[in-house]
Amino acid sequence: MKKFLPILVVGILVLSGLGAVAFNVNISKDVKQTSFFDELDQSQTVMTENTAVPVGNVPIPDNPVCVQVAQSFIPTKEVLTRVELFIGKNSTATYPLAVSIREELTEEDLTVIDIDPSQVPTETYDWVEIDFDDITVTTGLTYYVVALTENVTDNFYAWGANNISESYPDGCAWFSIDEGDTWTNESASSYPSTSEAFNNQGAQPIFGDVVTWDMCFKTYGRDNQPPQDPLLDGPLSGSAGTSYEYEVITNDPDGDDLYYILDWGDGTSEETIGPHPNGQTGYASHTWTEEGTYIIKAKARDIYGAESNWVTLEVTMPRIRSIQNPFLQRILQIFPNAFPILRNLFGL
């Protein structure tokens, strides 16, 4: 199978008509910012003339092959928001192009989205945005952008590539022709991480001479800022054995949804409520079973794990004394901070 692949990269452009179309696109054009405060993180935007890698079922005569393609990269932002690929499609492509992010090529997707064929130009190339759900990543580690489609006759896309220089030093292109079971690294890079990956895979160049392959891609991300310290409010005193409601609220600089974590100060387990939309109040109730003074603590945690500082509120639960008047007993339960004279009188 390997001997067909040198023909596959250049020849597929002739088969599909892509090689005959002028590249009237601006590769460095501005791209709209669709995510919350994200920015360009990693990229390789130089496409070697007429060089692309097919993704999908390639009509090699008498021996069709289905190709999956990936590009490794090392993020510097804590939250990965979206990617862009410089791609086109054959006129016969009718199935979506699946684009995903993985930590390892043979493991499950961290996030994935299907791109409808109508979103991809036919027999030419352009930048196509893949705006999937934001995910947290570990900066400094290697991740993969993976592209694949259904193995159906003549259903294929083309992903622009660079094969004449080390255009992206922090990663390289990977290829699979067995439905993703095994992957070949086509990089001759001297960069330590890609060289290590190359040696570990025991890969041999399948496109002829030893060269460095990089796909045309962009990744966008942002650093994850912690939420602001929350405001905690509720009754400052009450009766042991009675449930009291407290509210907590804050804002997240990134606009992320928030969890609120409360420690009631009496040895019970921390309570987590949410997630709540950014800036929305969370409510939680608690009952102290013994008299005493307690320090309630609360903090906010966004959906990506960044946390605020703890804030505190001191509450007092006086000892329970019998009140014979049911009406007065009910009033004091409903309005725990009202009637301070009556509270002093009854020792509540």
Do residues 124 and 156 touch, judged by C-beta distance below 8 A? no
Residue 158 and residue 263 in one domain = no
Nearest-angstrom CA–CA distance, 300 and 136: 18
In this structure, the answer to whether residues 190 and 271 fall within a common structural domain is no
User: CATH no. for residue 331?
Assistant: 2.60.40.10
How many degrees, rounded to 5, is the angle at CA 178 between CA 175 and CA 180?
60
Report pLDDT for 199: 35
What contacts 147, CB < 8 A, 6 or more positions away? 55, 68, 69, 70, 85, 87, 97, 98, 99, 157, 159
Burial of 125 (0-12, 13-18, 19+ CB in 10 A): buried
Mean pLDDT in order along the chain per 10 residues (348 residues): 37 38 31 59 93 90 87 96 96 96 95 96 96 92 97 95 87 93 70 35 43 90 93 95 96 92 96 95 96 96 93 86 58 59 52
Whether residue 137 is found in the same domain as residue 83:
yes
Tokens of 211: 């060269």
Same-domain pairing of 116 and 217:
yes
Which among 180, 205, 222 is the end of a domain? 222
Say if CB 249 and CB 282 are below 8 A apart. yes
* End-of-domain residue from the set 160, 191, 222: 222
Q: Are 14 and 46 members of one domain?
A: yes
What is the structure's pLDDT at 329?
Answer: 60
Q: Which domain holds residue 149?
A: 2-222
Q: What does the pLDDT read at residue 318?
A: 83
With CA atoms as reference, report the closest residue to 305 among 131, 108, 138: 138
Q: Let me know whether 190 and 328 are in one domain.
A: no
Residues 314, 190 share a domain:
no
What pLDDT is stored for residue 111 in this prediction? 96
Assess whether 197 and 86 both reside in one domain.
yes
Same domain, yes or no: 250 and 110: no
pLDDT at 7: 33
Check if the beta carbon of residue 14 is closer than 8 Å to that of residue 154.
no
Q: Which of 222, 251, 286 is the last residue of a domain?
A: 222
d(CA 186, CA 212): 6
Give dist(CA 23, CA 252) in Å, integer: 43
Q: What is the pLDDT of residue 198?
A: 32
Count of CB atoms situated within 10 Å of the CB of 341: 7
Same domain, 33 and 169: yes
Query: pTM for this structure?
Result: 0.70
Q: How far is CA 324 from CA 321, 329, 346, in A?
A: 10, 8, 11
- 66 close to 103: Cβ distance less than 8 angstroms: no
Query: Do residues 17 and 116 both lie within one domain?
Result: yes
Query: What is the total count of domains within the chain?
Result: 2
Same domain, 159 and 180: yes
